[in-house]
Amino acid sequence: MQLIECVPNFSEGNDLNIIKQITDEIEKVEGIRLLNVDPGKATNRTVVTMVGAPAKVIEAAFNAIKKAGELIDMSKHKGEHPRMGATDVCPLIPIANISMLETAAYAQQLAKRVGEELSIPVYLYEAAQTDTTRNNLSVIRAGEYEGFFKKIKEPQWKPDFGPAEFDVKRGGTVIGARDFLVAYNINLNTTSTRRANAIAFDVREAGRNLEVEGKKINQPGTLKSVKAIGWYIEEYGVAQISMNLTNINICSVHMAFDEVCNKAATRGIRVTGSELVGLIPLKAMTDAGKYFLQKQQRSTGVSENELIKIAIKSMGLDEIGPFKPKERIIEYMLNEKINNRLVSMSLTAFADETASESPAPGGGSIAAYVGVLGISLGTMVANLSSHKKSWDDRWKEFSDWAEKGEQYKSELLKLVDADTSAFNQIMLAFALPKDVPEEKNIRNKAIQEATKYAIEIPFKVMETVYASMEIIKAMALDGNPNSVTDAGVGALCARSAVIGAFMNVRINARGYNDKIFTADIITRGADIENKAIALEKEILSYVNQKIEVYF
């Protein structure tokens, strides 16, 4: 399925009733997910994030632009953020199975419809605009609402769609296609817009224009793919650096934060925190968490939740208000909770579910979870070793082991629910009708497909758990000696997980008709089982030798 994200910015941030009426138009379109609504009082602007199939997004965006034009009067609008219309800007962003070229075509389609059906002047920008002299948003919006009554009459600023008359009430709209952009504001311990702007000019890619010996020259800023301005936010009582990070692969959120900290310090100003506007990708947050842990020379092999917590605290994302990851990280907003039902349970609930008369979760899911416990113990030893007093020169070595362990743990957690899902697919296939030959054929095919999946999942558990034993062995050999028994218990869990998963591979293979496939996977599985048993024995010998030292 093709998915695009749409992030319209509406010039209203105070009247929640108006904002609600606009977002209601979005939610009326079936198949659209409204991910985030982020109003700002001082900017008098609301950033809305939605996602869906392209045609659905175009319909929802059109309806929202129409409603915003009916409810917002730009002749009375005031706010800190640059703006030129009721719907100031409406970018489309490719998310899944769609190219930027295709996304740009949808942006052009939306712009044409807004211009022709709503008679709003529309400008294309970024990838949707073929004229490179007018594809930059800040260039298009220069002069803002107040200056556009004259600007729109200039031949070079004729709208791409709609009338060449500026609408007093609705203003104009900019519609385009771009890569994922992170809107990010950094808070300063000053109220001076001039000083905030000076820092913004220091860091933004465009830098500042200077006059040297009568000649105008440009001095670029220190950060690529960054747009920035300084402003004062009366609501917070502080000045901010307002940034658009247009490519977080080039300039990450944590890089921008640290660089602003450095430039502010040279001007006698301190950064007190920061603010995210809209949504952010998960990787941006976990990368930030790892970055700040590395600066502290602490292990990065911690859970995803812990990395996010470190990122929030390090960048002060909760200074102005609570930062709720489930509501601000795009992957969490799109994630279907049904996919991780078991691993979201408490230990007690998981045990009760396992002990109930329901056949799932069964041995396959339990084997995967025992593998989770095994590598969790190995990862714990790595983290303890990374932070061990007098081992400061080895923190990175153990941090790398812990990070690798976290990757195995995450994969195995997914397989806990995947194994139960595989069992349920078999049950559903067997429940299909079989009254006529055609139904029988469909049912048999579904049973075979589900059975193959039910073989592959526990085999994947075997492979992942056995690979994780490398870490457990390293920790038994070289980790914190005070935790050697934890590594030993981890080895016991890992060995048990491999043997248990192989039982499920073998029993499910009995029902699969492709005997060449089953013979191959059973041979490979037996090899992994034998290696796991031997490796467990080797690890336990190291553990017992170290225990004996204490007696």
- Report the alpha-carbon angle 34-35-37, nearest 5: 85
3-state secondary structure at position 36: strand
Minimum mean pLDDT range among 306-310, 355-359, 374-378, 413-417: 355-359
Q: Structural domains in the chain? A: 3-177 (3.30.990.10), 182-334 (3.30.70.670), 340-549 (1.20.120.680)
Per residue in 265-293, pLDDT (tens digit) is 999 999 999 999 888 889 999 999 999 99
| Per-residue pLDDT reduced to its tens digit, 232-267 | 998 899 999 999 998 898 999 999 999 999 999 999
338 pLDDT higher than 50: no
The answer, yes or no, to whether residue 119 has pLDDT greater than 90, is: yes
In contact, 426 and 447? CB cutoff 8 Å: yes
Structure tokens at 76: 């009375």
Residue 336 has a pLDDT of 53
> What does the pLDDT read at residue 147?
95
Residue 551 has pLDDT above 60, yes or no: no
Average pLDDT of every residue of the chain: 94
**How far is residue 187's CA from residue 233's CA, in Å, rounded to a whole number?**
10
Percent of the chain surpassing pLDDT 90: 83
pLDDT 10s digits, 468-521: 999 999 999 999 999 999 999 999 999 999 999 999 999 999 999 999 999 999
Cβ atoms 92, 103 nearer than 8 A: yes
Residue 276 CB coordination number (10 Å): 21
Say which residues have a Cβ less than 8 Å from residue 350's Cβ, sequence separation at least 6: 342, 361, 369
Question: Would you state the torsion angle of the CA atoms of residues 397, 403, 407, 412, taken in this order, to the nearest 10 degrees?
Answer: 90
**Radius of gyration over alpha carbons of the chain, in Å?**
29
How far are the Cα atoms of 290, 298, 374, 391, 392 from residue 397, in angstroms, in the given order? 15, 11, 20, 10, 10
Statement: residue 211 has pLDDT above 90 = no
One-letter amino acid of 496: S
pLDDT surpasses 80 at 549: no
DSSP β-ladder status, 173-177 and 122-126: parallel
Decide if 387 is catalytic: no
More confident residue, 163 or 342: 163
Catalytic residue list contains 81: yes
Maximum distance among all Cα pairs of the chain, rounded to whole angstroms: 92
pLDDT of amino acid 392: 85
pLDDT in tens, 78-104: 988 899 999 999 999 998 889 999 999
Active-site residue among 81, 287, 417, 486? 81
Q: Which of 88, 160, 202, 419 is catalytic?
A: 419
Distance CA 229, CA 12 (A): 20
| Crossing angle (nearest 10°) for helices 395-430 and 437-478 | 160
Q: How confident is the model at residue 339 (pLDDT cuts 50, 70, 90)?
A: low
**How do residues 183-207 score in pLDDT, each as one tens digit?**
999 999 999 999 999 999 999 999 9
Distances in whole angstroms, Cα of residue 254 to Cα of each of 6, 57, 238, 257, 269: 25, 31, 21, 5, 18
Q: Please give the average per-residue pLDDT across 118-133, as a whole number.
A: 95
Identify the pLDDT of residue 1: 76
pLDDT in tens, 340-394: 678 888 999 999 999 998 887 899 999 999 999 999 999 999 999 999 988 989 9
Phi, psi of 422 (to 5 degrees): -65, -45
Pair 73, 27: CB distance under 8 Å: no
For residue 169, pLDDT over 90 is answered with yes
Whose tokens are 């004259």? That residue is 150
> What per-residue confidence (pLDDT) applies to 144?
94
pLDDT surpasses 50 at 55: yes
pLDDT at 70: 97
Per-residue model confidence (pLDDT) at position 333: 81
Binning the chain into helix, strand and coil, the percentages to the nearest 5 are: 55, 15, 25
- State the pLDDT at residue 332: 84
Report yes or no: 115 and 160 within 8 Å, Cβ to Cβ.
Answer: yes
Residue 337: its pLDDT value, please?
Answer: 45
**In 3D, which of 151, 149, 159, 160 has the Cα closest to residue 104?**
160
Q: How far apart are CA 454 and CA 241, in angstroms?
A: 53
